[in-house]
Amino acid sequence: MKNKILFFMFLGILANAQMNRFYYEYKFIPDSNNKEDVKKEIMFLDIDKNGSNYYSHDKFVADSTMRADLEKQINNGGGSLKMNKTERPGDVSYKVTKQYPDFKTYLFRSISMDKYKIKDDKKPEWKILSDKQKIGEYNAQKATTSFGGREWTAWFTTDIPFQDGPYVFYGLPGLIVKIEDATGSHSMQLVGNKTVQNQNAEKEVQLPEKVKILGLGGKEIEVTKDQFKKAWKAYVNDPTKGMREMMMRNGGELGTQVAFKVKTADGKEFSDPSQIFKEMEKRTKDKLQKDNNPIEPDLVN
């Protein structure tokens, strides 16, 4: 009877143009050579009658604050736009959407100046086991799957009648309340939920003509996983190629109409394009070297 009551309660919520927001604590180890450095981030899984969205709370707040600030500057007629640094920008930049009822899944990721919409046609293949335990306040059952180059163990509850879960995972007879890979590098656990008003997606900030800001504007490039993997490899081999091409398109040789500066950690400031590209390439390669333990290795290796 408990399951039926919950089922009708959730259906009532969805019918009233509201959505269920599930909060997951995501723990991950970016650098496999430094397993003591465990990052934590709160992720949202928003579910309504049309599907679900999985994304970072910190990045959502940071992006919303940045957009509001930019819009204010533009409306005030500022001659130049200033990008203010956000205190907590978020470590998780990707998001995942699933469309019901067929669970058409898309992973959204960026590479340099480009945004990608990666279609995932592979449904997780689960092995449901007899093991049961309490995860938080929910009675949960164990299941395992191989996905993205990792072995995963999940715990799902039929107390919540959504066959969904964090990241790209779905297809079990209830909501996934915990999932972890075999190495302990990536773990997502449900820590709370509430009902919120289902709001429309935020409008893009209308930037002045010829103004481009990394991460804002433009449409996602829809690709397969293989196509994204090819683009990622090209980026790793030449991290500044996209920026150089943008400057050439918009300002001629080495960007005569494009001006920006880069400051190093020790306070040195570069404005010469060749120095900037050299510094950007160094920063990117250093970052990639320390970010070598991705949630889905098969996508970038």
Give the pLDDT band of residue 58 (cuts 50, 70, 90). Answer: confident
Tens-place pLDDT, residues 144-172: 999 999 999 999 999 998 999 999 999 99
Between CA 80 and CA 90 the distance in angstroms is 26
Which residues, in sequence order, are bridge partners of residue 291? none
Structure tokens, 73: 């500057």
37 is written with which tokens?
Answer: 């450095």
Decide if 44 contacts 60 (C-beta within 8 A): yes
Q: How far is CA 278 from CA 35, 214, 238, 283, in A?
A: 30, 18, 11, 9
Q: Which pTM value belongs to this model?
A: 0.78
Count CB neighbours of 80 within 10 A: 7
How far is it, in rounded angstroms, from Cα 273 to Cα 279? 10
- Residue 43 has, within 13 A of its CA and on its CB side, a CA count of 27
pLDDT, tens only, 235-293: 998 887 777 776 666 554 444 444 555 555 556 665 566 677 777 778 888 888 889 99
Instruction: Using DSSP, state whether 39 is helix, strand or coil.
Output: strand
> What span, in angstroms and rounded, lies between the C-alpha atoms of 227 and 198?
33
